[in-house]
Amino acid sequence: MRKTIFIFGALVVALLTLFQLSTYSLVSGNTSIEFIIAGIAIVFFIIGVIINKKVLHKYKGITKEIDHKKIETLGLSKREYEVLCEIALGLSNKEIAQKLFVSESTIKTHVSNMLVKLDAKRRTQAIQIAKEFQIIPL
Amino acid sequence: MRKTIFIFGALVVALLTLFQLSTYSLVSGNTSIEFIIAGIAIVFFIIGVIINKKVLHKYKGITKEIDHKKIETLGLSKREYEVLCEIALGLSNKEIAQKLFVSESTIKTHVSNMLVKLDAKRRTQAIQIAKEFQIIPL
DNA sequence: AAATCACTCATACTAAAGTATGAAATTACC
DNA sequence: GGTAATTTCATACTTTAGTATGAGTGATTT
């Protein structure tokens, strides 16, 4: 909230500055009009991109960077997290076992421990919870 | 691909047109410079927003509108689709049955039919496939 | 050296998920 | 009114998922 207000304020200031500069340059006549227009165009293009990103950020949990801190907080081990990711890709325990070169028993152990740590009853629920925590890629 | 090229082409044309118009107005001197600059600013702001959206679209499956046409193409019935959505929320067959006021057998039938139509072997895989097809909300 | 932790694996069990088949009721459409 | 598709349900079965328990190994820490 505070950030948004600050950014908007900065933008307004930048806008006014640009206007001032452009009229100034025109009066003094030592800068070509095309240059000014191009500058303004580029600045507002960038502003558009930034604002759009901000809005999308607020609206949904996009840009999806993985929350590594959350993974630690949950106490998920490296292997458990790997298994979780494979589950989210729709693999069975057997398939995960082959992919990670371990036995299916091992995968079952990891899955079981992971489910407890995520407080999930099923692997499908684990996927949903992991998505909410933003600990797996969309 | 084709679309992207077309859009970029249109943007370039719009850009050039704006430049032409702005210099024209200046020469004839019947439009204030502030107006032109404001216009250019707005146009490029919008262009920035649009391009950002497009890029994000390509990069990830964002903006997430459900592809109803795809659902039809796959031949998913209303009930099968409902069940698919509940599965994506992490519910078990029994829970889905209670939520939709039908027996577990019914849910199993729907799930089985749905899996065939999505060409999935497991419900977790169905979730992944459905996400790729953008037929379920993120 | 002892303790702790993550990873590995196995066995045995229970619970869920998924398949196959058949069938009745409902809805929709021509 | 008949036909097709959907929805519903059941039974029996196979497969996968998940739990519980115990145990061995290697790396790290105290």
Q: Is residue A83 within 8 Å of residue A96, measured between CB atoms?
A: yes
* DSSP-derived secondary structure for B89-125: TT--HHHHHHHHTS-HHHHHHHHHHHHHHHT-SSHHH
Q: What confidence score (pLDDT) does residue B138 get?
A: 78
Which residue, B82, B80, B136, is CA-closest to B110? B80
Q: What confidence score (pLDDT) does residue A96 get?
A: 97
Judge whether residue A105 contacts strand C, using its CB and a 7 Å cut-off: yes
pLDDT band at B2; cut points 50, 70, 90? very low
Q: Roughly how many angstroms between the first and final C-alpha of chain B, as a whole number?
A: 25
* pLDDT > 90 in chain B, percent: 51
- Residues of chain A contacting residue B123, judged by C-beta atoms under 8 Å apart: 124
Q: Is residue A63 within 8 Å of residue A91, measured between CB atoms?
A: no
Q: What is the average pLDDT across B5-22?
A: 56
Measured CA to C1', what is the nucleotide nearest B95?
Answer: C16
Q: What confidence score (pLDDT) does residue B45 get?
A: 73
Q: What confidence score (pLDDT) does residue B12 get?
A: 57
Give the Cα separation of B114 and B122 in Å (integer). 10
Give the Cα separation of A110 and A126 in Å (integer). 13
Question: Which bases of chain C are under 7 A from a protein CB atom?
Answer: 5-12, 16-22
Measured CA to C1', what is the nucleotide nearest A112?
Answer: D18
Give the Cα separation of B49 and A24 in Å (integer). 29
Q: What confidence score (pLDDT) does residue A30 get?
A: 58
* DSSP-derived secondary structure for A68-137: HHHHHHHT--HHHHHHHHHHHTT--HHHHHHHHTS-HHHHHHHHHHHHHHHT-SSHHHHHHHHHHTT-S-
For residues B69 and B46, the model is more confident at B69
φ, ψ (nearest 5 deg) of residue A91: -85, 150
Q: What confidence score (pLDDT) does residue A5 get?
A: 47
pLDDT digits (tens, 9 = 90+) for A109-120: 999 999 999 999
State the amino acid at position A94 in one-letter form. K
Cβ distance of A41 and B44 shorter than 8 Å: yes
pLDDT digits (tens, 9 = 90+) for A48-66: 777 776 676 665 545 568 9
Using the structure, give the distance in angstroms from the CA atom of A119 to the C1' atom of D15, rounded to a whole number: 26
Which residue, A28, A18, A35, is CA-closest to B23? A35
Q: In this structure, what token pair is assigned to residue B44?
A: 């490029």
Q: What confidence score (pLDDT) does residue A122 get?
A: 97
For residues A2 and A29, the model is more confident at A29
Residue A131 has pLDDT above 70, yes or no: yes
